[in-house]
Chain A
């Protein structure tokens, strides 16, 4: 019996440790919001609709953790030329003209259901995946920039000069257009986007998950507290929603 007990304990320790390692690897600190990994041989499905929820009441003024994390995740080193440097995500400060009330919030590609960028793209380089993530196929983008004219959210950047130290998961190219990928490389592995992970370390203002799953954290929060779309009047049904604006 003694021997059996010893064996049981070691098994438990091993399993517990393995679970912890897996948890940390998949989504550090945000186990509640982990999403299902998609096997590589499985096609992207429209059963899921990836989305983000941003609680602007928790978004701290002056904090740019999401921006920093995004830049480092995607290798977006600037050239100190703000007008032409790429930005996937930016902190926007809003001041109510009437009341003077100030808020800050992150704005990135809103991953619209009916994405104007994908509509206007002549070659189909801008496209929406079945799971709602809007991407640019860098191999067939001709750099016409019509998507940048069409995007209501100013979410896209044109690569104005040579790029160095690219990340394997974020291929970039001079003369093509790019924008937030919702960290599709991480999402497909069941991880959260880099900005969400960074935000959750302290402020916990960003949530990521499946909008089609009524039991997901993001869906529950949206159901309970509601969430606004930027430029809802355009009827684009973006995948990114905001609370507190």
Chain B
């Protein structure tokens, strides 16, 4: 393998500054939205005492899950010794940190008391999976940061493999923790399932890779650097496998629930009667986020098209957001079963399907998280030598054959 040369991008074009301005505008809008929500109280959002986690959580959890998945490329190179992925490990690690930061900022700014973050960072209830996650998230940024350092500094490069393995194990723990936020909720019909943890891991593989592919295309197209088919096609196959695996996990999850009479109510709600949730599940998660990307990856007409892969990646992200919406908000919309077998009603919305209409500030806060992730990447590729000067096939994989 040839020696890989890395170089920062110039970042002086109008396009570069235009992008920066765009991301900055979204971040400002998110800050404004957060201020508006905190100043007035959450009643100005679509969230209620019934739907306590709304659209910001959809974005936050999605970004956090995608963050660990963005580390795929680095892990495949460092842990599984696939040399073709080696040139992109730096971008992979950086994107992972950036996505996590984007997700965390949304989570924090949606707290009832974001000003008390210091309490969350200093007082831990170790029985809480949320408290574990705070350690897992900050640890992830630290470990992946060190991992990135071992990639970029020759003097510590000998620790690269051990850092890579540590980061890989950590990211699996992190997504297990994120999935378990829902898996551990024993009282709610839509959650309370151990499969949530591995399902979140497999979703992270796909969402993170989709983000990575798009960022890779954008930076290489934007800078005019060469990007060979070898690496692109490997990622194409990988994305297809991950998307298929998500569909498999959905199938097992719902089949298991459908077998138990106890869960027929919530399954009928998500799969058949849930209105927006049912539509989002079938059209968003299954068709847009699953079947169509699979056809675009493996279908004979799109097999070699980069545009098709880019569109498939966008669809995986849209489908992923839909899946998160169904899991997070659909799971809360379905009523708690306090008295099984009884028709229940009260002044506190017992026994009814809860409604949720997201508001503009919630959407802007969520999009602000995405913008923060992207602005970090945009700044980092200018400031640091993250990207190989060329990813031509001769660099990425000298043995590549079409």
**B is a partner of A:** yes
- Chain A positions within 8 Å of B, measured between CB atoms, are 79, 81-87, 90-98, 107, 116, 118-124, 140-146, 148-154, 156-162, 173-177, 230-231, 234, 245
**B134: A residues at CB distance < 8 A:** 122
Bound CA–CA A123/B126 (angstroms)? 9
Bound CA–CA A157/B348 (angstroms)? 10
**B342: A residues at CB distance < 8 A:** 94-97
Q: Is the CB of A87 within 8 A of B187?
A: no
Q: Is the CB of A158 within 8 A of B42?
A: yes
Bitwise interface map of B from 343 to 366 toward A, beta carbon under 8 Å scored 1, else 0: 111111110000000000000000
**A159: B residues at CB distance < 8 A:** 41, 112
Bound CA–CA A150/B125 (angstroms)? 15
Bound CA–CA A158/B111 (angstroms)? 11
Q: Interface with A: B113-121, B138-146, B213-221, which one?
A: B113-121
Nearest Cβ distance between residue B228 and chain A, in whole angstroms? 46
Q: How large is the interface on B (under 10, 10 to 19, 20 to 34, 35 or more residues)?
A: 35 or more
Q: Interface with A: B8-16, B47-55, B76-84, B294-302, which one?
A: B47-55
Q: A151-B187, A154-B338, A234-B186 are in contact. Are A122 and B43 (CB under 8 A)?
A: no
Q: Is the CB of A161 within 8 A of B41?
A: yes
Q: Is the CB of B185 within 8 A of A149?
A: yes
Q: Is the CB of A84 within 8 A of B186?
A: no
Q: A84-B48, A149-B188 are in contact. Are A119 and B128 (CB under 8 A)?
A: yes
Q: Is the CB of A87 within 8 A of B347?
A: yes
Which residue of the partner chain, among A83, A93, A122, A173, contacts B124 with CB atoms under 8 Å?
A122
**B348: A residues at CB distance < 8 A:** 87, 90, 92, 154
Q: Is the CB of A90 within 8 A of B346?
A: yes
Q: A120-B130, A121-B128, A122-B124 are in contact. Are A152 and B344 (CB under 8 A)?
A: no
Assess whether B129 is interfacial by the CB under 8 Å rule: yes
**B42: A residues at CB distance < 8 A:** 84, 158, 160-161, 175
Bound CA–CA A148/B348 (angstroms)? 14
Bound CA–CA A154/B130 (angstroms)? 20
**A90: B residues at CB distance < 8 A:** 346-348, 350
Assess whether B38 is interfacial by the CB under 8 Å rule: yes
Q: Is the CB of A161 within 8 A of B43?
A: yes
Which residue of the partner chain, among A84, A92, A93, A153, contacts B43 with CB atoms under 8 Å?
A84
